[in-house]
Amino acid sequence: MDKQSTIKEYIEGVLQTSRFAVLATESNGQPHTSLIAITPHGRFGQLIFATYRNTLKYRNLAQNSKVALLIEKGDFNMKDLQESIVLTIIGHAEEISIEENEATYQAHLKRHPEMESFMLSLDCALIRVIAQSYQVVYGINDIRWITEHDLDSS
């Protein structure tokens, strides 16, 4: 599992099959986590999520755009950790205009149709996470770090 192309396939598999992630933000030294609905977007390593502007996560992002996301693929099983893949994405987040990114908005809505009334709210913001590096955990003794640049060159 040393080849970057194999690692890229695992990352893409996790992003395509997982609908939710745990988002970690920070403000004034205080960490905060939130469960978010995600949609892979555009080039490799970008995710979209929606949030209300009146949330702690949104306020934290306005002060500090650095984020981490934890995404788990498969059935987590302590007896056979090889069946689980856990991905951590380190990157930054930015708000994008819903009006200027209608296709992105529609893609997120298509993946999460249960969020339609939430996403129609005037207080809803569309956020893009741009990945800078990935930690891919295949098991307790098999952890790999890779940057987006490494993946782009493979």
DSSP 61-78: HHH--EEEEEEEES---T
The per-residue pLDDT for 82 is 54
Q: Look at residue 109 and tell me whether its pLDDT is greater than 80.
A: yes
The per-residue pLDDT for 12 is 85
Higher per-residue pLDDT: 24 or 73: 24
The per-residue pLDDT for 75 is 52
Mean pLDDT computed over every residue of the chain:
86
Lowest mean per-residue pLDDT among 14-23, 44-53, 133-142: 133-142
The per-residue pLDDT for 15 is 87
Q: Look at residue 150 and tell me whether its pLDDT is greater than 70.
A: yes
In the chain, % of residues over pLDDT 70: 86
**Residues whose CB falls within 8 Å of the CB of residue 24, separated by 6 or more in sequence, listed in order:** 31, 32, 33, 67, 68, 69, 70
Q: Mean pLDDT across the stretch 76-104?
A: 80
Higher per-residue pLDDT: 17 or 20: 20
Lowest mean per-residue pLDDT among 19-28, 110-119, 121-130, 141-150: 141-150
What confidence tier does 1 reach under pLDDT thresholds 50, 70, 90? very low
Q: Mean pLDDT across the stretch 56-67?
A: 97
Question: What is the CATH superfamily name and number for domain 4-152?
Answer: Electron Transport, Fmn-binding Protein; Chain A (2.30.110.10)
Q: Mean pLDDT across the stretch 62-85?
A: 75
